[in-house]
């Protein structure tokens, strides 16, 4: 169900990109939009993993340096049928973790020193299984593409708004709309793209929770870990880049009420309940 939903949401993002490009410059605008998306996705595909690891000063560790952590990752990778990913540790009190890499052959798992302190071995296994489920499902690539599409749509929407303000949104033979119509549509499209991207992120989190629980063999390990991490992040918040928030197992950014619509993660109570009901 989550996979089908992801396909549908990615289709919506693609259509939004095309429509915004058309609003900006008719048929030629559509071509420009697709070219921009292709270039941005190429860059994200090859360089996003190194950028995010550098952003959080992640340090790669070997088996002698972190034998327990390394052995857990190796065991779970074997169960998942994927290559052994690189293992990183981030010196940060916030208990959190993420996976990155364009595919299972170029994957990395990063954990903070905070998560190593507060979780027992079973709970940490649950977290690592969640991250390796992301790797196996290629969620890192899917999330990166979704974020790139949303960014391209927002950029084009901003250009369309300025074009409308400066008189560039007049009707033309290629199908451009009026100034007011272009301005309103570009704002709606930008918000819609962000909401769709976040919906994709939430959908993949549910899928990774389920996959991780099956991989480790006991859903309660991850459920208990998520409960601890949720409160740990509240106690030791991380100064995280919002563009990378979707990568972490627990949202490092806080928000309640209407802000949940703009959350990269599903509500924690729902994630825990689903796991305990497995």
- Which pLDDT does position 187 carry in this prediction? 81
Taking the domains of the chain in order of start, what are their residue ranges? Answer: 2-276
Please report which confidence band the pLDDT of residue 212 belongs to, taking 50, 70 and 90 as the band edges: very high
Helix or strand or coil: residue 3?
Answer: helix
Weakest mean pLDDT among 52-56, 152-156, 221-225: 152-156
Query: Which of 91, 81, 90, 80 lies closest to 128, judged by CA?
Result: 80
- Which pLDDT does position 173 carry in this prediction? 44
- Which pLDDT does position 69 carry in this prediction? 97
Please write the tens of the pLDDT for every residue from 102-140.
Answer: 789 999 999 999 999 999 999 999 999 999 999 999 887
Q: What are phi and psi of 98, to 5 degrees?
A: -155, 165
- Which pLDDT does position 4 carry in this prediction? 67
Q: Is the pLDDT of residue 211 over 80?
A: yes
State the Cα–Cα distance between residues 243 and 78, nearest whole angstrom: 31
Q: What is the mean pLDDT of the chain?
A: 83
Task: List, by residue number, the catalytic residues.
Answer: 131
Q: What are phi and psi of 101, to 5 degrees?
A: 120, 145
**Which residue reads 């918040």 in tokens?**
237
The predicted model gives 142-159 an average pLDDT of 75
Please write the tens of the pLDDT for every residue from 12-50.
Answer: 777 777 777 766 666 676 677 667 766 766 766 677 788
The predicted model gives 150-155 an average pLDDT of 75
Beta-bridge partner residues of 59? 89
State the Cα–Cα distance between residues 263 and 255, nearest whole angstrom: 7
Weakest mean pLDDT among 24-28, 166-170, 187-191: 166-170
Q: Are 141 and 119 in contact, with CB atoms under 8 Å apart?
A: no
Please report which confidence band the pLDDT of residue 176 belongs to, taking 50, 70 and 90 as the band edges: very low
Q: Are 104 and 136 in contact, with CB atoms under 8 Å apart?
A: yes
**Which residue reads 């981030």 in tokens?**
90
Q: Are 114 and 92 in contact, with CB atoms under 8 Å apart?
A: yes
CA 139-278-212 angle, 5° bins:
30
Q: Are 264 and 202 in contact, with CB atoms under 8 Å apart?
A: yes
**Which residue reads 């197992």 in tokens?**
249
Q: Which residue has the higher pLDDT, 85 or 149?
A: 85
State the Cα–Cα distance between residues 38 and 156, nearest whole angstrom: 14
- Which pLDDT does position 157 carry in this prediction? 74
**Which residue reads 């977290």 in tokens?**
127
Q: Is 172 exposed, middle or buried (0-12, 13-18, 19+ CB in 10 A)?
A: exposed
């Amino acid at each position: 169900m989550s996979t089908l939903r992801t396909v549908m949401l990615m289709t919506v993002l693609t259509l939004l990109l095309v429509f915004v490009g058309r609003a900006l410059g008719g048929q030629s605008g559509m071509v420009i939009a697709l070219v921009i998306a292709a270039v941005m996705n190429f860059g994200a595909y090859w360089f996003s993993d190194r950028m995010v690891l550098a952003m959080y000063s992640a340090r790669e560790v070997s088996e002698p340096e972190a034998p327990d952590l390394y052995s857990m990752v190796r065991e779970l990778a074997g169960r998942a049928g994927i290559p052994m990913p690189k293992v990183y540790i981030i010196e940060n009190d916030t208990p959190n973790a993420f996976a990155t890499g364009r595919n299972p052959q170029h994957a990395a798992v990063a954990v903070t020193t905070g998560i190593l302190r507060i979780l027992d071995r079973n709970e940490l296994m649950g977290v690592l299984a969640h991250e390796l489920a992301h790797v196996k499902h290629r969620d890192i690539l899917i999330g990166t593409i979704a974020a790139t599409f949303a960014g391209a749509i927002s950029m084009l929407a901003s250009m369309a708004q300025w074009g409308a303000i400066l008189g560039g949104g007049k009707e033309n033979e290629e199908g451009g709309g009026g100034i007011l119509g272009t301005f309103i549509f570009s704002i709606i499209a930008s918000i819609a793209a962000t909401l769709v991207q976040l919906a994709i992120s939430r959908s993949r989190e549910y899928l990774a929770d389920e996959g991780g629980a099956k991989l480790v063999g006991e859903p309660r390990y991850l459920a208990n870990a998520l409960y601890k991490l949720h409160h740990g992040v509240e106690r030791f918040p991380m100064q995280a880049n919002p563009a990378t928030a979707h990568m972490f197992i627990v949202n490092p950014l806080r928000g309640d009420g209407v802000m949940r619509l703009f959350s990269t993660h599903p509500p924690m109570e729902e994630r825990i309940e689903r796991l305990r009901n497995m």
